Structure 1
Amino acid sequence: MELLYNQGFGGMTRPKEWITPHKVSMLILILEYAEKEKKKKGAASVTAEIGEGWDLKVSRKFCRAMLSWIQMPDVELLQLLPKVRDISEELCQILIKRLHGMVSTGISSLANFFQSLEQLLDSNNGEASLHRHSILGMFMRRMVLSYDKLSFSQVSKLYAILKLYVKEESGRLTEANRSEAMADISMVMDDGGTMTKEELEATLPECAEERPKELPAEKVFTRRQGEFFIAQQASLLEKDESKALPPDILQQQINALQESNPDLTETHYLSYLNCMRLSEFCGAIHNLHSYFDHLLPKGDNSKDNKDSNHNTAEQKTKSYRYRYAALGLAGLHCRFGHRENALHALKEAIKMAQEASDHVCLQHAMGWLYRLEDKEGIDISSLLDRSVAKTEELNLPYLTSLGIQSFTRHKALQSIQPAMVFEYLAKSDALNCQHNQSQLVSTSLAQQSALWQMYGQSTMSSLCDQLLLSMSSLEFSTVGHSRIDSEAMCLAVSNQARQLADQGRVQAAKDVLLFAETKFPKMSQHAKIWMLCKQQLLFQQAVNQARWQQAEQMVLSIAALSSIDSKFRNALLSRMKGETTQSLKLLHDVIDQCTNHKEGWSTEMHARALMLLAEVQCESSNHMTAIPHLFECLALCHKHHLTYLAAMATAHVAHIQLILKMPHHGMSLLKKIMPVILANGSVQDKSRVQLLLAKCQLACHTSKQDPEGRKTALLSAVQMLSQAAEGFHTVETEYRVKDVMYLQAHIYQELGYTSERNKCAMHFRQLDQQYPTALVPPMSTL
């Protein structure tokens, strides 16, 4: 029946509302609910659809359910009854009884039913038990008006479909019943045509398991339901993709919506968003073109239409559509990494916006422009400065705050003082609070977490992540226009998993990533973030356990997500396997990419590559060659305020000083950086530095110069080595535990502790059988 009216048979125009068996069920529920209120209250008003006739809990459930059922597409009676039963068993029984009575009585029951609806709205001299201007009252009025417009043949078809709707619920829909019902419906229409079997089956709503397989499963939407569906799914795709329909099912619903409402232009945009979440370029660009093509005014090109005002308005509308279409196309190309195509589309949008003096469009274009320019490492400070000032002048708080955050990120990468960076972010936070922009609040927190992590303050970074995640669970973030940015949330979850793994809690990190996978499925827009994090953690775990083949597989998986990170980890793996030449080649490629500001580079990656290059040089016994690389790394870290990486680079310098017979200088450096390492370092880094500190302590106190000091140093070193061994064991780096056991055995031998020496020797032998020296990397570095 829905398809019949929506397609406009018999010369009828396509209405926004039409009557279906599902809507008849809704009307029965409303009527029975209101009549019971009327009986118990004596014709009292039921404004807001909540009264004292029903239990308060039942009333709340009823109102929420009715709002959802009115807005959503039709469902089968078999699917509706369990939901009604959850509200009230009495209401469910009344619905079944009224439907069966309506079907058994005949077609006149429909007329009597809609007449009772009119009486309900107009009873008691205007004091009806259901308010005419309430949500349910307006829905009932629309249905009554739609019924009044039906012809007799259309009422007959509605009654026949209602019989099928009720018979399917009772399980009495046999092939004979279906043929009989189809024969009833195949009557002469207004234009002399007949309704075929295919048209009949298309009118039936989505069925339960009893429906034959040849019937379609797509839902049929009215225009209002379609608009609500599009708004709901678009909001979920932007806010939380895990709650939106899966891509294949969503596309099926979009196709059904386009078939039943071909003039609903927004379906193309929803299809564009669905393609974007799958990174499907061809489908995305086709749907974006279709969306703006349908939005353009058709106009009348006849010679009689010479109204200058009409033509001027049409030209303005076209210009408006064209420049925002170009802007959307630029965003699409930017998303797929097509920088040149994005710049061409963006320049076209800027040109048209300047011609039309559209400053708002210009500021949106500027937002994309500095993002594209920033990818090439160009100094965009002046561009951002002008953009922020102009958006503030035009009273565009969202773009102003977003511009400040982009300006903050750019300045942080340009080695500005951290205090100034967080001062800029504070201005953005103030704007976000003033204008209730929770999306940008979450973006700001994610940016603060990244900055603290870059500056080497892992505790502060974790605090920002936890604050962001706690925001996502608050009720106010899901109502109104307030929402949490999904990308920021995915970044926070991934960062928490990474920090848990650094502390040796690998299983907890995997559980967190499993949550991220359920929240952001693999085909979702931001799945790349947690997928990269997962592969990095698996790679590190494989390296710690000396499983080189598995680590190689992880490198290949990382290459699909980040080429520069894959090169760096491949260089690390080559160094662990003793392939010095291959490792040096890869590291030089990474350093060149970072120096030239190629895609994927970062200051942290540059510093880590220099440190790893120094480690490879040390393993080749080129300690003097490694020193310039470490000093370059230190200069880079101090320039960009990378406190933790600077401390680790200092530890490498101390290790070289130990090898060059300068343990006192190494000890002095280690004492300066130990607070930073212990406060913010991973378990493995802490253990490495503790092992180095123990070696320096032993080298600084010889038995010839100071026997008592030597014994104290030995006892202190044993305790520190025990802590290092425990840390290596926590992160499953057992081949490093073997070196600790070897050193401890020598110390116990010198102290004369025979039993302790034998325990260490036995532990060493067990580990050596499991991790032979020929298969693990040499420990000539930190």
Structure 2
Amino acid sequence: MEAVKAADVALCILLRSYLCPTTETDPDPHSPLHALFGEALLREIRRRDEAASPSLMELLQHIQVAAAAGGDHMCPGGESAGEADAYFGAVKAAVGAHLSALETADELVSLFTSVAEQVITQCTSTPAEAEGRGADASSAMGLYLRICYARYTAMTFEAICKLVGEVHAYFDAAVATLQGRPSAPAPAPRLRPGPDLERFLNAQLAGLGRRVGSVAQADIEAPLGELAGAAPQVPKAHLAHHLSALHHRDVAASLDHLHRFFDHTAEARGAAAGGGSGAAAGQQAGEAAAARERGRLQSAALSLGSMHAQLGHMEQALQALNETVRIAQQSSDDTCLAHALALLCQVLDATTPGTITSVSHVPGASPAARHYTQLGQLLHRCLRRCEELHLPHLVAFSQLALARLELLHPQRPAASPGAAGGAEGPAGGGGGTAPDLPCSSSVAVAGAVRDVAHLHMATRLAAAAPSVPPLSSGASSARVLRGVGDLFASTAALYGPDMQGMQASSAAEVEQLVAGSHLLQAACWELRGSRHLAQAHSLACLDAFGGVTRAEEQCTALAQLAVSVAAAHGPRAAEQVLAVADERFPGAQSRVLAGARLSIAHDRALRRGDLHAAADIAAQMAALPPPTDSTDIGLRLEAEERIARTLLAAGCVEEAAAAAHAACAVASTTGQPLHSARLQLLLARVHQQAGAPMAALPYALTATAHARQLAADMLAAEAVVLLAGLWCDMGAQHAQHARRELEGALPSILAHGSLELQAAAQVALAEACMTQHVTPAGLREDGEWLLVLLEEAERVSLVLEDRRGAAHATYLRALVQDALGNAEQRNAAAASFGALVQPAGALE
């Protein structure tokens, strides 16, 4: 059992002064500040953000700061600063007087005897019936005092004498600090007891992923720094340093601390292994040591593969995975093999098809088709195997990965039943066949999100339940425990035998996957055009799961919100979302958030006509992906698309066509149907601007077909608007068809489309009507309706800061007013047109 430390003695004295004040030096229990004192003591007992025990000055400072933080809402009368200083001055004087009185071991024995007699034995389970004051034996204060007393009774006389010396040094250091004189050289910081240190390290590991980007790396690792001198052999400290360096993409530091973690793990296991006597015992000990060593090696290889995968080193990740599988097969460790299979799926999902050579190929139409077909087969196999092994966190991962694959790649070749293991995904398909329903991928995503949410509730219940049902001890306990048998019967089979002791970590991982599932659902709704539902799910990830969501996922949610708000309300509204992101994560290294910020800025620069800024932003987007093509192919294709759009805006039609053709070829080769559809649409615009509507028509029709296969409703509507413009360019005889197509798409565009798409659709519909009516007399029939369309398009264009689009709508409005014979309104529209085309003030 851990020995009592000097800080524990000081805290016991403070608790005794609060619970049972017996001397004149103790603080006044009738003071309104007494409750704040108790609240501060509770916070100090539960403190988990320090690895070492605090000094006396730090302890008193923690208590006074905590009491001051709670004073505003706990003291209705608003005690003055002088009264607070006087009260906590008495607290400091009391603890100083009691500590200075501990001259010998006898005084220390008397202290703990009084703690046992005055604080614990006087307190019953019904304090209201007790004559004295104290803490309930099962309360936080009572438990802490009982633990300290139990540790004291387990100490030898020599240890108690040593503790007296530590208390003297502890008190003398505080006195020297108060008097401003140098104290004796401070010894190495004394770590908290083993369970407290374990809880501290677990809290650091759990919160590290949420603090990355919002706190500097040095501040994250500061609480772990004091462990380096006091206990450099603590393995979890190196694990926390490894994760911090990994999140900040410090490859050398991450690899170094990972090696140190497993090196110290081997030392700790070797020291913990006990020795036996006899040949049989020696043989058993040797076999156990070999098994432990294999487990350590396979865990190290798996962690190394995960590190390389997160850093984008896919070839190294596959090599580490091969080593993990080899060792796990020798050990017959099915759980490790399941985790290796899940990591392999994660690597394949993040890898660009055709860029790695370590993956075996299966028959398919193209390298991309083979890649994604194999990914679907492996995910089905992973799901089936994890269900058999009762690994809920990997089941949730497989379900969401299958739904994501179905959303982004719905048209994959059919998977053979043997390769898929005959298992169907829980999210409605995902087996690699073409969807029967137009929105089967949406059904798959919704089903996966629902199933993972149900699994989250089940894992939380299973992790909260103790290993065996509690025993009832009376009528009241029977009432409380009614139905507990059903709880254990329903959660006993949720975890496999290899997960015993790891239920809480598995439940925490499932909870993080639930938060990530809202991002997948938001992306699905955004693709379908339901922007309000997409924003709701992004907000759910930030708000409902903000306490458990990793920083990268929060940055992704903020990026989704910023892009959605920019499309629905303009760039000024998106700036507010990005300002929140900067406030929350000032040091974020998220490529998704950086890409969203640059895409909004690029769209704004193109609308303003600032081509130099647009070219600079497009170059910055091209620099976001890694230098190799093995990962982040989507981000690379978006950058290439924006470079082509900048060239098109600058009038470089041939260069824009070449850039769009090259990007479209890459999108087709790597199996990116959504980017391929967008690039096909861009090629159609390039040919339209070049004055070749017939050449643009095949690209626009292909983009429409791809968008409908993906059920990307707003992308399909954008293609309809472009097709209508092409029909009108080909002559007045096609204007009726263009008008009919636009009138059919306009309600959906006005309800769910972006502001840019709404303005483009209304202008295109007005142009189709004007092309259809070749004479002013025919134009007068729809004149009032056209004016409404053009005025709304002009307003929306100004919200988007698109003066060129607003000028075009104003020009058309002047033509309509002229056809209607409204000379005054025509002249006003012409004046507005002249003001909009002026360069002065265009950027303000």
Output the TM-score relative to the length of structure 2.
0.76
| Residues 339 and 372 in structure 1, CA contact (< 8 A), matched pair in contact too | yes
Q: 1:394 aligns with which of 371, 389, 392?
A: 389
Segments of structure 1 that go 5 or more residues without pairing to the other structure are: 1-14, 40-49, 183-199, 206-218, 776-782
Shift of 1:302: 12
Shift of 1:764: 1.7
| Residues 714 and 747 in structure 1, CA contact (< 8 A), matched pair in contact too | yes
- Separation (CA, whole Å) in 2 of partners of 1:144 and 1:536: 67
Distance 1:319 1:571, change over 3 A: same
Task: State the percentage of identical aligned residues.
Answer: 20
Measured against aligned partners, the alpha-carbon deviations of 1:440-472 in whole angstroms (never above 9, x if no partner) come to 222222111111222232232223223333313
| Corresponding residue of 2:477 | none
Distance 1:31 1:303, change over 3 A: closer
- Separation (CA, whole Å) in 1 of partners of 2:838 and 2:210: 53
Q: 1:311 aligns with which of 271, 281, 286?
A: 286
Q: 1:735 aligns with which of 784, 799, 804?
A: 804
Distance 1:153 1:345, change over 3 A: closer
Distance 1:320 1:73, change over 3 A: same
1:720 to 2:789 alignment: yes
| Corresponding residue of 1:560 | 623
1:26 to 2:91 alignment: no
- Separation (CA, whole Å) in 2 of partners of 1:69 and 1:394: 35
1:255 to 2:232 alignment: no
Q: 2:673 aligns with which of 603, 623, 635?
A: 603
Q: 1:672 aligns with which of 732, 735, 744?
A: 744
Q: 2:235 aligns with which of 265, 278, 283?
A: 265
- Separation (CA, whole Å) in 1 of partners of 2:145 and 2:33: 17
| Residues 517 and 530 in structure 1, CA contact (< 8 A), matched pair in contact too | no
Distance 1:723 1:733, change over 3 A: same
| Residues 52 and 226 in structure 2, CA contact (< 8 A), matched pair in contact too | no
| Corresponding residue of 2:199 | 228
| Residues 455 and 643 in structure 1, CA contact (< 8 A), matched pair in contact too | yes
1:117-132 equivalence runs, <5 A: 117-122=112-117, 126-127=121-122, 129=134, 131=137
Give the paired residue count: 693
Shift of 1:82: 4.8
- Separation (CA, whole Å) in 1 of partners of 2:160 and 2:677: 79
| Corresponding residue of 1:328 | 303
| Corresponding residue of 1:503 | 568
Shift of 1:71: 6.3
- Separation (CA, whole Å) in 2 of partners of 1:404 and 1:699: 52
The letter of the residue matching 2:756 is Q
1:42-53 equivalence runs, <5 A: none
- Separation (CA, whole Å) in 1 of partners of 2:750 and 2:52: 59
The letter of the residue matching 1:641 is A
Measured against aligned partners, the alpha-carbon deviations of 1:278-304 in whole angstroms (never above 9, x if no partner) come to 111111112112211222244899999
| Residues 308 and 316 in structure 2, CA contact (< 8 A), matched pair in contact too | yes
- Separation (CA, whole Å) in 1 of partners of 2:728 and 2:818: 23
- Select between 82-91 and 321-330 the one with higher mean Cα deviation: 82-91
| Residues 658 and 696 in structure 1, CA contact (< 8 A), matched pair in contact too | yes
| Corresponding residue of 1:43 | none
Measured against aligned partners, the alpha-carbon deviations of 1:330-365 in whole angstroms (never above 9, x if no partner) come to 111111111111111111111222222211111111
The letter of the residue matching 2:144 is I
- Separation (CA, whole Å) in 1 of partners of 2:802 and 2:118: 82
Shift of 1:570: 1.0
1:234-253 equivalence runs, <5 A: 234-241=205-212, 246-253=216-223
Shift of 1:581: 2.4
Q: 1:512 aligns with which of 570, 577, 580?
A: 577
- Select between 91-100 and 333-342 the one with higher mean Cα deviation: 91-100
- Separation (CA, whole Å) in 2 of partners of 1:51 and 1:413: 67
- Separation (CA, whole Å) in 1 of partners of 2:780 and 2:541: 51
Q: 2:404 aligns with which of 403, 406, 409?
A: 409
| Corresponding residue of 2:452 | 428
Segments of structure 2 that go 5 or more residues without pairing to the other structure are: 69-83, 124-133, 354-367, 411-434, 461-509, 625-634
| Corresponding residue of 1:187 | none
1:763 to 2:828 alignment: no
| Corresponding residue of 2:90 | 94
Shift of 1:766: 1.9
Measured against aligned partners, the alpha-carbon deviations of 1:709-753 in whole angstroms (never above 9, x if no partner) come to 521322221221100000000000011111122222222222222
1:350 to 2:325 alignment: yes
| Residues 239 and 257 in structure 2, CA contact (< 8 A), matched pair in contact too | yes
The letter of the residue matching 2:12 is L
SS in 2 for 1:108: coil
Distance 1:502 1:37, change over 3 A: farther
Q: 1:288 aligns with which of 251, 258, 261?
A: 258
- Separation (CA, whole Å) in 2 of partners of 1:459 and 1:100: 61
- Separation (CA, whole Å) in 1 of partners of 2:55 and 2:515: 41
- Select between 358-367 and 110-119 the one with higher mean Cα deviation: 110-119
Distance 1:439 1:573, change over 3 A: same
| Corresponding residue of 1:689 | 761
| Residues 99 and 166 in structure 1, CA contact (< 8 A), matched pair in contact too | no
- Separation (CA, whole Å) in 1 of partners of 2:783 and 2:207: 62
| Residues 721 and 740 in structure 1, CA contact (< 8 A), matched pair in contact too | yes
- Separation (CA, whole Å) in 1 of partners of 2:193 and 2:175: 22
1:587-626 equivalence runs, <5 A: 587-597=660-670, 602-626=672-696
| Residues 37 and 63 in structure 2, CA contact (< 8 A), matched pair in contact too | no
Q: 1:62 aligns with which of 37, 41, 45?
A: 41
| Residues 328 and 336 in structure 2, CA contact (< 8 A), matched pair in contact too | yes
Measured against aligned partners, the alpha-carbon deviations of 1:622-676 in whole angstroms (never above 9, x if no partner) come to 2111111112112211222222111111111110100111111110111121122
Shift of 1:111: 5.0
- Separation (CA, whole Å) in 2 of partners of 1:53 and 1:551: 63
| Residues 17 and 223 in structure 1, CA contact (< 8 A), matched pair in contact too | no
- Separation (CA, whole Å) in 1 of partners of 2:11 and 2:276: 51
Distance 1:556 1:142, change over 3 A: farther
| Residues 51 and 224 in structure 2, CA contact (< 8 A), matched pair in contact too | no
